[in-house]
Amino acid sequence: MTITKPEEHTGLDHQPEPEAKAGVVDLLERGGSVVVPIGVALYALLYLGIQQVYGIFNLNPEQAGIDQATMFGRLVGTLILLIIAGALLAGILIAVVWLLDKATLGHLSRLARAVRERPWAAATIGALWCGASYWGFLGYLGLGEGASLAAIVITSVVIGVLAFLVPFRLLRRRPAGRAGMKIVVAAFTGIGLGFALMGQMERDALAVAEKGRPASLLLSMVGFQDQWVVLNDRASGKVLRDGEQMLLLGEREGAYALYDCAKQETFRISMEATVLREVTLDPERPDGYSCMDKQGN
């Protein structure tokens, strides 16, 4: 009786599959450890930024009819736009680094590996990066106005060395610690960028509130609607507020929330008793326009 030996498979068709799966999972883990902390920090700070924007008009988003679901949708859309822009910038940066590595005959990649293998060097770079991310927070507090580049660099270095250098060096001892350091660096990157965006959102909202300037691209990205209307009384047809354009902030519980730029006040008016005329979205303003010029009229 002859026993046939099973055919030996070379493994060309089946062996790479587990490796491919492992590679995909590893790629997702590496990418997620950077993208997720940045996204969470940005979402939280953009949420606070929207609260601050509507606070400039003396109300909160809920009073303007913006519920949590609406705000979540707007912020997710903003994060997608930021990811698109970030992917573009990251791709360009990777291409530039690759060209520099080719131009230096591989010395740049060897330098990067040498830095990663030296705990103090890697910890120093991470600490300086986190220290620099604090500048967004300091700028949001108004402490960075008029600061020179040297002052920015010195402040970032001092914060990084005092707060992050030793903890990051201790984290470099084990693989789990190195992964934790990556998450911390990514989170502080999102926090620094988020505070910078918050500060810019508030400055843009102040320009709208104080001068009636058009809303910026950033305010439009987070869902702030730059919509101006003229009010008419429904019963008499009389023009209200001297026919001046009002900023429509939203509506809730049968009332419009509006902002009078000339008088610098927010008010509510019944929807049933009011007709909105000359609705204008993102109006074009001439250079130097300011609704404050109408206060004396």
Q: How far apart are CA 29 and CA 62, in angstroms?
A: 37
Measuring CA to CA, how many Å separate 178 from each of 13, 116, 141, 185?
Answer: 35, 10, 32, 11
For residue 158, give every residue at least 6 positions away whose Cβ sits within 8 Å of its Cβ, in sequence order, or none.
Answer: 131
- pLDDT for 11 equals 43
Is the domain 225-294 a CATH 2.60.40 member?
no
**Tens place of pLDDT per residue across the chain (297 aa):** 455 544 444 444 444 444 444 466 666 666 777 788 898 999 999 999 999 999 999 998 988 888 888 888 888 888 888 889 888 998 999 899 999 988 988 888 888 888 888 889 889 999 999 988 888 888 777 766 666 777 778 888 898 889 999 999 998 888 888 888 889 999 999 999 999 899 899 999 999 988 888 888 889 888 888 899 999 988 888 888 888 889 999 898 889 999 998 888 999 999 898 898 888 888 888 777 787 766 545
CB 260 within 8 A of CB 241: yes
Dihedrals φ, ψ of 270, to 5°? Answer: -65, 135
- pLDDT for 278 equals 86
- pLDDT for 113 equals 86
Domain boundaries along the sequence of the chain: 20-211, 225-294
Element (H, E) at 39: helix 16-56
